[in-house]
Chains A and B, each alone.
Chain A
């Protein structure tokens, strides 16, 4: 109450809400993946608040990308390890 700016959580929920129609028209399996993406963006909500970017959704997109890339790095390492083990 009494805030001049919306809290970052509010902004996040509104942005997520803005995609409700998009989400509704997806297959159930794709809806769950989309939920995952939003969940990963939420992990960086504190950073997003600190950034106080004019277009918050850009920050949320970057957060999703960040988590995706972390996963890519993790999987890449895993593959390398397995290849190393095999060549032994």
Chain B
């Protein structure tokens, strides 16, 4: 044996090497970047009839790939112990190629552990994850003899390794115009490369930066979709080297663009460029980047064990799926290739009972004061963990005779096992955030982690019933909602037993009030009681100074579950379903509505409504005047609508149909899922499509229509304070001065309408 040496550092990259074994890149504590190698044979399994497996055996024996075959027993999550043919491939890089050839040759067999992301296999065996701190012993040729992971992805404060980051950013979006300049930034400074100079000069310049600075992460704008493919093409044409990869033996991996349907909309993902020995993230091709940033990407990579470059570009559902695979691999549970589960048959009655979503109440319409909003923390994941709901733990068709809830097996299921540490980490971070100052250096980091966790947990519920998920089963999905409805009713009963009035219930949240409760401590007893009754973690989302539940636009007596706005004691405004939150509302109108809400937010029992009413009226009159005098930029009036059908299915004289016809006349066509934008104008046809070559004349704007739309948005927020539309119009458009404040005050206190008084008082 050669002499072994020890090395500590952070795991930057990990992938099967084309030369055999695995390549690992470590950012050493010594500041050096180490390329290491490790032996890592991978195994996949095949189940099928004996004669078929004999054929497979013969086929595999004839392949030139080094491997060993054996017959063994492994556990299938649903069908239990299964006899399988184990194929151990010596070099991990050979496995996907071998498997694809095999699956084409024998498409009818059941394959397990066959198409797994390599990093997950390594994580299951060695406990590695991206950026983990590791201690390795290596021989003289840099082959790893042992690897020990020093930290856990569940630690709250994992330090980031000292990474060198190179940022590359073109001056404009390449899909709009040809970029002229490239901004290059490192920790040592920044400079600009002029892209109009010769390709040789660009490449020589970048190559020297890459070799001198030797970055660990290349962070780009449009790097996937334009920059890196462009640079690689230049390098190809000129024959000059460009070492984007650190690993010279591994080719750069380019993936094509694709569109897919998810969460009810068509999503477009651009092409991708993956590097080896170095990371590349394109901030415009990274999912949820705007939400959780680089910090969120690190967190997701750590807890899912997916490679950083992959996790930055996939949906959170893939992350959950990856975590389940690691859990399964660790316990030698077979991971199916194609999911072959089908729903077991149900009677009509069972369907009636099972196929319901979350419980949603009709709120009590109107404005309510000192209302507490109580939410279950990550309700559905909590239920899966607490009640052990997993596809394999559901006892089909068995229900608790008393509660009617689905029964589960006692052994902890795969999903609860996977989710438990994630949920615990989320609750711990939520707890920390609650008391942490916004200026704490950890605050931003915790926020990003929390947001990354939220996305993972949200998708884990969907994946439980998703037919393409490897470990999904619809009954498990239904069991979760059944427990969810029960938990919410238990919470309601707890509240009512304690004398609270339940204003609203919405899936995982409850709005309650009691006359003597207005502070956090007043509600503690209730929270404790709900926790005891349900066993699920619950938190006080906040106490509203006031909250208004709004009626339907169609019928003033019918409440709508998710249309409300209110102000927390902290002054924070929360709103759902009103104009400001809607994507089709013109910017100007949503802004004025928000401005009014901000003024209303000052209203509490201490600060009377009457004190802010003149302010609102002045604000409104000012804004209306601004519309009339054309002082508001035209783009703030643009109305947006998303097309749900193909453009030739829009007929007639609706605004959308008119706008589409105008665009088509100008040679522009729209596809379903795209947005049509237009403004309301005077004269025929009263619509002007925004994306026509020329902008409409400012003076042609239909100001009357916009004022009307504005007044409707204003009515939404003022109606709960007792304003009818008629009174509102008189109040705003009348030249009469407001009544003295003292008279209003008395009226507000008696809960009558402050505006009705105006006509009974002498006009000034």
Interface on A for B, CB 8 Å cutoff? 21, 24-25, 27-28
> DSSP class of B's interface residues: helix, strand, loop or mixed?
mixed
Question: Which residues between 488 and 510 of chain B lie within 8 Å of chain A, taking CB atoms?
Answer: 489, 492, 496, 502
Which of chain A's residues have a CB closer than 8 A to the CB of B728? none
Of all A-B residue pairs in the complex, the 5 with the closest CB atoms, nearest first, are A28-B496, A27-B502, A24-B489, A25-B489, A25-B359
Pull 10 A–B residue pairs with CB atoms less than 8 Å apart, ordered by A. A21-B404, A24-B489, A25-B359, A25-B489, A27-B361, A27-B492, A27-B496, A27-B502, A28-B496, A28-B502
Residues in A whose Cβ lies below 8 Å from that of B492:
27
Q: Could you mark each residue 342-378 of chain B with 1 if its beta carbon is under 8 Å from any beta carbon of chain A, else 0? A: 0000000000000000010100000000000000000
Majority secondary structure, A binding face? helix
Per-residue CB contact flags for chain B residues 119-160 toward chain A (1 = under 8 Å, else 0) read 000000000000000000000000000000000000000000
Nearest CB in chain A to that of B502: its residue? A27
Which chain A residues border B361 with CB–CB below 8 Å? 27
Bound together, the chains give a CA A25 to CA B404 distance in angstroms of 14
Can you name the residue of chain B whose Cβ is closest to the Cβ of A29? B501
Cβ contacts under 8 Å, A28 to chain B: 496, 502
In the assembled complex, the Cα of A24 lies from the Cα of B488 at a distance in Å of 11
On chain B, the residues within 8 Å of A24 by CB distance are: 489
Q: Which residues of A contact B489 (CB under 8 A)?
A: 24-25
Binding site for A on B (CB under 8 A): 359, 361, 404, 489, 492, 496, 502
Residues of B within 8 A of A21 (CB): 404
> How distant is A21 from chain B, measured CB to nearest CB, in Å?
8
- In chain B, what residue has the closest Cβ to A31? B496
Which residues from A are CB-within-8-Å of B404? 21
Q: CA of A24 to CA of B491 in the docked complex: distance in angstroms? A: 12
Minimal Cβ-Cβ distance residue in B for A20? B404
Complex alpha-carbon distance, A2 and B253, angstroms: 81
Apart from A21-B404, A25-B359, A28-B496: 7 A-B pairs, beta carbons within 8 A = A24-B489, A25-B489, A27-B361, A27-B492, A27-B496, A27-B502, A28-B502
| Closest partner residue, chain A, to B488 (CB atom) | A25
Once the chains are docked, how many angstroms separate the CA of A25 from the CA of B496?
12
Q: Identify the closest chain A residue to B490 (Cβ).
A: A24
B residues in contact with A27, CB < 8 Å:
361, 492, 496, 502
- Distance (Å) between the CB of B728 and the closest chain A CB? 31
- Complex contacts, B502 vs chain A, CB 8 Å: 27-28
A65 smallest CB distance to B (angstroms):
23
Nearest chain-A residue to B362 (Cβ)? A27
Closest chain B residue, CB of each to CB of A24:
B489
Smallest beta-carbon distance A80→chain B, Å: 29
Residue of A nearest to B353 (CB): A21
Least CB distance from B423 to A in Å reads 27
A83 to B591 CA separation, bound complex (whole angstroms): 53
| Cα-based distance from A27 to B496 in the complex (angstroms) | 8
Distance of B218 from chain A, by nearest CB (Å): 55
Residue of B whose beta carbon sits closest to that of A25 = B489
Q: Chain A residues near B359: list those with CB within 8 A.
A: 25
B84 CB to closest chain A CB, in angstroms?
46
Rounded to whole angstroms, the CA-CA distance of A24 and B492 in the bound complex is 10
Bound: A28/B361 CA distance, A: 13
In the assembled complex, the Cα of A17 lies from the Cα of B751 at a distance in Å of 42
A21 to B482: give the CA distance in the assembly, Å.
13
Shortest beta-carbon distance from A27 to chain B in Å? 6
Distance (whole angstroms) from the CB of A25 to the closest CB of chain B: 6
A28, closest chain B residue (CB): B496
Taking the nearest CB of chain B, how far is it from the CB of A28, in angstroms? Answer: 4
Determine the distance from Cα of A25 to Cα of B486 in the docked complex, in whole angstroms. 9
Report the minimal beta-carbon distance from A54 to chain B, rounded to whole angstroms: 21
Measured in the bound complex, the distance between the Cα atoms of B501 and A28 in whole Å is 9
Task: With both chains docked as a complex, state the minimum distance between the C-beta of B503 and any C-beta of chain A, in angstroms.
Answer: 9
Separation of A65 and B359 alpha carbons in the complex (Å): 30
Question: Whole-angstrom distance from the CB of B123 to the nearest CB of chain A?
Answer: 44
In the assembly, what is the distance between CA of A12 and CA of B502, in Å? 30
Hey, which chain B residues are within 8 Å of A25, CB to CB? Answer: 359, 489
Minimum CB–CB distance for A55 against chain B, Å: 19
CB distance from B717 to the nearest CB of A (A): 26
A25 to B490, CA, bound (A): 10
CB distance from B615 to the nearest CB of A (A): 37
Whose C-beta in chain A lies nearest to the C-beta of B500? Answer: A28
| Shortest distance from the beta carbon of A60 to any chain B beta carbon, whole Å | 22
A27 to B364, CA, bound (A): 11
Taking the closest CB of chain B, its distance from the CB of A23, in whole angstroms, is 11
Given the complex of chains A and B, what is the CA–CA distance between A25 and B489 in angstroms? 7
Alpha-carbon separation in the docked complex, A21 to B402 (Å):
12
